[in-house]
Structure 1
Amino acid sequence: MNHQLSDLSPEGLRAFVGEQLERSRARTVQLTDAVDTDDLVRQHSKLMSPLVWDYAHIGNQEELWLVRDVGGREPLRQDIDELYDAFQHPRADRPSLPLLGPAETRTYVTEVRDKVLDVLDHVKFDAGRELVDNAFAFGMITQHEQQHDETMLATHQLREGAPVLDAPPPPTGRSLSSAEVFVPGGVFEMGTSIEPWALDNERPAHGVHVKPYVIDTVPVTNGDYLRFVLGGGYEDPRWWSEAGWAHVQKASLVAPRFWSQVDGEWWRVRFAHQELLPLDEPVMHVCFYEAEAYAKWAGKRLPTEEEWEFAARFDPSTGRTRRFPWGDESPGPQHANLGQRHLRPAPAGAYPAGASPLGVEQLIGDVWEWTSSDFRPYPGFRAWPYDEYSLVFFGPDYKVLRGGSFGTDEVVARGTFRNWDYPIRRQIFAGFRCARDPRPEELHA
C-alpha cells in the first residue's frame, strides 16, 4: 500500500480495498477458528478481551463506519452498539456482558461484510467527502481489524493449553559489521500529510531538527538482555527510574515475561511452545521501565521518537524523507518480518534488504520498539474522524512505541505509524533498541 493510491482509477481502488478487506478477514478467521468455543468466550487475561468480543467489535466498527456512515444504510444491530463500545466497558468487565456467542458473532460479521461489499461496489470516491477520499474509511477499518488481529494474537500468547498456531521460521540472522550506527542528525520531515491511510496522530508532516546521535544497529537481543538479568539488573535500583523501581518491586519482576529458568537454562513460552531462549532474537515482552533500565545499565538511553523516525526515514545522501528505511516501496517479505508470517521475531541481521541508508536494521517489524517519548500531538494536529482514536490518550501516561512487530500487518506498519501504551505493559510484542549521545571524537571523525 503506498501513497500512489490516489493514482488508481475508481475500479482499481475498489479492487485494492476489496483485497485488503479480504486479507484482514482471513486473518481474523484464522485466529478465531484456531480455538474451540470455550477458548473464544474465556478471558485469558484481565488485560485482554475474550476473543469473541474482539471479533464482534471488529464487525460492529465496520457496521458503524462503512454500512451506516459511508453507505447510509439501515443499522443491522443497533442494539449491540453499546456492548462493543471499547470506551463503555473496560476489558476486565467484558466477560460479564451479554455478548454475542461465537455462532451469532460469525453470522453478524458475515452479514456486515456482505453489506460493506455492496457499499464498496456503489460508493463514489470522488464525492468530495473527506471520509471516502482515497477510500480512507475503508483503510481505517482495515487497519482497525488488523490492529485487533494483533491484539488477538497477543491473547493467544496468554492462553493456556496445547499449541494451536503454526508458521514457518523466519530467515536466519547474520553477524553485523558494527553494533552501532552514527547518525549525523539534521532536519527532516516527521509525520505525513500525504500518506492516504495515515491516522490522525501521524499528521501533519512537520520539520524537526535532530542532533547527532548513535543508535543500535538492531534491537537488543535476548542474549544481550540475559546479561542484564544475570548481572543482577532487577535487584539494583541504580538502573531504574523511581517509578520503574517501584513497579519492579510491586510486580516482583525478575526477567521478561514468559521467561523462566530451569536447571540453570533459560526457557521461554511462545504460543504454548516451551523452547530454549533463542539468544539471537530481539528481546520481547519487556515493559518501558525494563527497556529504560537496561539502557542505563548499558551506558546508553532509549531513543526519542524523533530519533527513531529519523533513523527509519531520513536519507542523508539526498536529504529526502522516505516512507520506509529501504525506500518508498511497500514492505515485502525480503524487507521485514510482518503480518504474523513467522510467529516470532527474526534473529538479528535477518533482513539486510530492510536496512536504512545509514545501515540501521530491523526498524520495521519483529518487535515494537519503546521510545523515551510521551504520546503527544504533532503541531497542527486535528482529531479526525473521531476523538477517541488519539486525542483522549495524549499526555504523560503513555509512552510511544514505533516500527511494528512480527504480528503487525503491512497495512499498519508505516514509517510514520505511532503506537502507545502504559509503561508497565508487557503482554504486547515489544522490545527496544538503545541510543546514546556521540562522543567528541565521533563528532569530528
Structure 2
Amino acid sequence: MIDRFLKVRENSEQLCKPLITEDYSVQASEFVSPPKWHLAHTTWFWEEFVLTKYATAYTVYDEDFSFLFNSYYNNVGTRVLRPSRGLMTRPSVNEVYKYRKYVTDAMVAFLNTNLNEEILAIIEIGLNHEEQHQELLVYDIKYILGNQPTFPVYENSFKTKAETQEENFIKIKAGLYEIGHQESTFCFDNELGKHKVYVGDFEISNKLVTNRDYLEFVMTGGYQDFNFWHDEGWSWVNTNKIEAPLYWYKIDNEWWNYTLNGLDKVALDLPVMHISFYEAFAYSQWKGCRLPTEFEWEIASDQLQWGQLWEWTNSAYLAYPGFNKSPGALGEYNGKFMINQMILRGGSVATPEGHSRKTYRNFFHPNMRWQFNGIRLAK
C-alpha cells in the first residue's frame, strides 16, 4: 500500500516536470483548473478525509487550505469558487510542494499503523481520486499550453496510434445481458447495482473514427447542415462558431492541430479526438449510423480494442437500480452529478495504468471536448 501510495503521489508531480513556474497558476477557461490547484487539492483530500479523521496528533498544515483547495464537497464547508482558482497567486508553487511533502510524509507514517477496513476503503478511493486528477491534469496542461500563441512543446508520452485492423462492424445478438461491476476489485459507486438489460440486435465498429474520416465531414459541410445536429448542438455550433475539433486550425488551406508535441499537420490515420458529444452525434448521423449506448458498449467491450480515447455513448448519466449515496462528503463524489451529462466509456492514453475498466462510467457535459475522447459508431 505504501509503495502504491508513493507511486501515485510521485506521478502527479512528474506530470508537472515539463512546466515552468508561470504555467502552474494559469486558468485558461472556467472548466480548466491550474496545475498548482490540482497538486494542492489532491493533497488536501488526504489531509481532510484521512489524516484529520484517523491519524492521532496530526496537525493541519494550513487552516486556510481547506477553503482554497476544496473542490465541490459542500459537507466540508465553503470554498473558493471554481472560476476563481486561477486568481490565487498564493500560496506559491514552492509552498504547494512543501504541503505535498508534509502530507505525504504524514500519510506514510499513518500507513505503517494498523488500519481497519473502513480506513483502507477510503485510502483506495483517495488513490483513485488522485489518479482521476492526473488525467484531468493532462487535459488542463494541454489546454493551457494549447492556448499559448507559440504552441509550446510538452514532453509528450500520451500518443495515440493508428489502428491497423480492417474496419468492420461486430454483430451482437439481441438478448438479456448483465451490466455493472461484478468483481471483488475496486470500483466507484456509480458502477454498482448489477442488473440485467435487454438490448436488440446491434452492430458496433471495431475501430475508432479517424481524422481522415472526420475531415471528410468537415470538408463536405457537416458543420453547416443543421439536419445532422441536435437543436442544442446546433445552437452551440453557431453561438461558438465551431468549425472543427478542438485544437484544429486551417493554415494556408491545410489542417493543423495542436498536440503535446506542438503544432503539427493533422495525422489522417490517427483517431479523431477532442470531440464534443454534439459533434460525435452529428458525425454519426452524417454517416447514417449512431452512437452506441453505454450498455451496448459494455456488452461488446471484450471484442473491442479500447483504451486510446474515451468513447462517447448515447446514454445519459443516470443511477443504476438500487444506487445509494454514501453519507457525508464522500457521498457527493458521483451521485449529485447525475443530470445533464453524457456517459463515456473505455479510457485514454492519459488514463493512469490500471485505473479504468470496462464498467467505468466517465461523464461530462455534452459540450465538453478538452478531454481525450473520440467516436465509435454503432448501428
Alignment TM-score, normalising by the size of structure 1: 0.78
Alignment equivalent of 2:355, drawn from 412, 419, 432: 412
Tell me by how many angstroms 1:247 deviates: 0.6
Q: Distance in 2 between matches of 1:279 and 1:207?
A: 40
Alignment equivalent of 1:115, drawn from 92, 101, 106: 106
Deviations 1:296-349 (A, max 9, x none): 11001111111111111xxxxxxxxxxxx3xxxxxxxxxxxxxxxxxxxxxxxx
Q: Look up the match of 1:11.
A: none
Tell me by how many angstroms 1:142 deviates: 1.2
Q: Distance in 2 between matches of 1:100 and 1:44?
A: 19
Tell me by how many angstroms 1:182 deviates: 0.7
Q: Look up the match of 1:89.
A: 80
Alignment equivalent of 2:37, drawn from 53, 58, 63: 53
For 2:276, the aligned partner's letter is C
Contact 2:212 2:269 in 1 (8 A): yes
Contact 1:56 1:100 in 2 (8 A): no
Q: Does 1:307 align with 2:296?
A: yes
CA gap of 1:168–1:398, structure 2 versus 1, over 3 A, is closer
Q: Distance in 1 between matches of 2:331 and 2:64?
A: 23
**Pairing of 1:168-207 with structure 2 (within 5 A):** 173-176=163-166, 178-207=167-196
SS in 1 for 2:312: strand
SS in 1 for 2:278: helix
Q: Look up the match of 2:129.
A: 144
Alignment equivalent of 1:431, drawn from 365, 374, 377: 374
CA gap of 1:170–1:392, structure 2 versus 1, over 3 A, is closer
Contact 2:171 2:203 in 1 (8 A): yes
Alignment equivalent of 1:378, drawn from 312, 317, 320: 320
**Pairing of 1:255-274 with structure 2 (within 5 A):** 255-271=244-260, 273-274=262-263
For 1:403, the aligned partner's letter is G
Tell me by how many angstroms 1:120 deviates: 1.2
For 2:9, the aligned partner's letter is R
Alignment equivalent of 2:47, drawn from 48, 58, 63: 63
Deviations 1:163-192 (A, max 9, x none): 13233866664241x421111132222112
Alignment equivalent of 1:165, drawn from 152, 155, 180: 155
Q: Look up the match of 2:233.
A: 244
Q: Distance in 2 between matches of 1:98 and 1:172?
A: 41
Alignment equivalent of 1:100, drawn from 91, 95, 100: 91
For 2:347, the aligned partner's letter is G
Contact 1:67 1:73 in 2 (8 A): no
Q: Distance in 1 between matches of 2:160 and 2:295?
A: 29
Q: Look up the match of 1:389.
A: 333
Structure 1 consecutive aligned stretches of length 4 or more whose deviation exceeds 4 Å:
168-172
Tell me by how many angstroms 1:101 deviates: 1.2
Deviations 1:142-180 (A, max 9, x none): 11111111111112211225313233866664241x421
Q: Distance in 1 between matches of 2:70 and 2:336?
A: 15
Tell me by how many angstroms 1:91 deviates: 2.7
Contact 1:157 1:272 in 2 (8 A): no
SS in 1 for 2:69: coil
SS in 1 for 2:177: strand
CA gap of 1:92–1:67, structure 2 versus 1, over 3 A, is same
Q: Does 1:209 align with 2:198?
A: yes
CA gap of 1:249–1:71, structure 2 versus 1, over 3 A, is same
Q: Distance in 2 between matches of 1:242 and 1:40?
A: 38
Q: Does 1:19 align with 2:3?
A: yes
For 2:93, the aligned partner's letter is P
Using the aligned pairs only, state the percent identity.
Answer: 31
Contact 1:53 1:99 in 2 (8 A): no
Contact 1:185 1:210 in 2 (8 A): yes
SS in 2 for 1:401: strand
SS in 2 for 1:269: strand
Gaps of 5+ in 2: 73-78
Q: Does 1:33 align with 2:9?
A: no
SS in 2 for 1:433: coil
SS in 1 for 2:15: helix
Q: Distance in 1 between matches of 2:3 and 2:300?
A: 31
Contact 1:52 1:105 in 2 (8 A): yes
CA gap of 1:151–1:223, structure 2 versus 1, over 3 A, is same
SS in 2 for 1:164: coil
Gaps of 5+ in 1: 1-16, 313-324, 326-355, 437-445
Q: Does 1:297 align with 2:240?
A: no
Q: Distance in 2 between matches of 1:73 and 1:417?
A: 37
Tell me by how many angstroms 1:418 deviates: 0.8
Q: Look up the match of 2:75.
A: none
Alignment equivalent of 2:28, drawn from 28, 40, 44: 44
CA gap of 1:415–1:175, structure 2 versus 1, over 3 A, is closer
Contact 2:160 2:271 in 1 (8 A): no
Contact 2:258 2:264 in 1 (8 A): yes
Q: Distance in 1 between matches of 2:34 and 2:158?
A: 27
Q: Look up the match of 2:341.
A: 398
Contact 1:369 1:431 in 2 (8 A): yes
